[in-house]
Amino acid sequence: MISSFYTAATGTINLQNGFDVTANNIANVSTNGYKASKPTFADLMYTNIHAPQGSDSDLKSGHGTKLQKTDTVFVEGGLNNTQRDLDYAITDPRNFFAVQTNGQIKFTRNGSFHLSVENDGKYLVTSDGGYVLDKQGNRIKVNNEKETQNIGLFTFDNTDGLVRDGNNYFTANDRTGLANPVPNAEIKKGYLEGSSVNIADEMASVIELQKAFQFNSKIVQVSDEIMQTVNALR
As a whole number of Å, the CA-based R_g of the chain is: 24
If asked whether residues 167 and 229 sit together in one domain, one would say: no
Residues 87 and 173 in one domain: yes
Shared domain for 10 and 96, answered yes or no, is no
Same domain as 83, residue 59: no
Q: What pLDDT tens digit does each residue of the chain (234 aa) get?
A: 566 766 777 777 778 888 899 999 999 999 999 999 998 877 665 555 555 665 555 555 556 677 778 889 999 999 999 999 999 999 999 999 999 998 999 999 999 999 999 999 999 999 999 999 999 999 999 999 999 899 999 999 999 999 999 899 999 999 999 999 999 888 999 999 999 999 999 999 899 888 888 877 777 777 777 777 777 777
Same-domain pairing of 101 and 131: yes
In tens, the pLDDT along 100-140 reads: 998 999 999 999 999 999 999 999 999 999 999 999 999 99
Nearest to 97 by CA among 109, 85, 89: 109
Q: Say if CB 113 and CB 74 are below 8 A apart.
A: no
Long-range contacts: 100-106, Cβ < 8 Å, 24+?
Answer: 100/130, 100/131, 100/133, 100/139, 101/126, 101/128, 101/129, 101/130, 101/131, 101/169, 102/130, 104/171, 105/133, 105/137, 105/172, 105/179, 106/130, 106/165, 106/169, 106/170, 106/171
Looking at the structure, do residues 83 and 69 belong to the same domain, yes or no?
no
Quote the CA–CA distance of 31 and 108 in Å, as a whole number. Answer: 12
Query: Same structural domain for residues 212 and 227?
Result: yes
Q: What is the pLDDT of residue 228?
A: 78
> Do 132 and 172 belong to one domain?
yes
State how many domains the chain has.
2
Look at residue 60 in the predicted model and tell me its pLDDT. Answer: 57
156 and 92 share one domain: yes
Q: Are residues 102 and 60 in the same domain?
A: no
Residues 187 and 102 in one domain: yes
Residues 170, 146 share a domain? yes
Structural domain range at position 87: 79-193
pTM of the model: 0.79
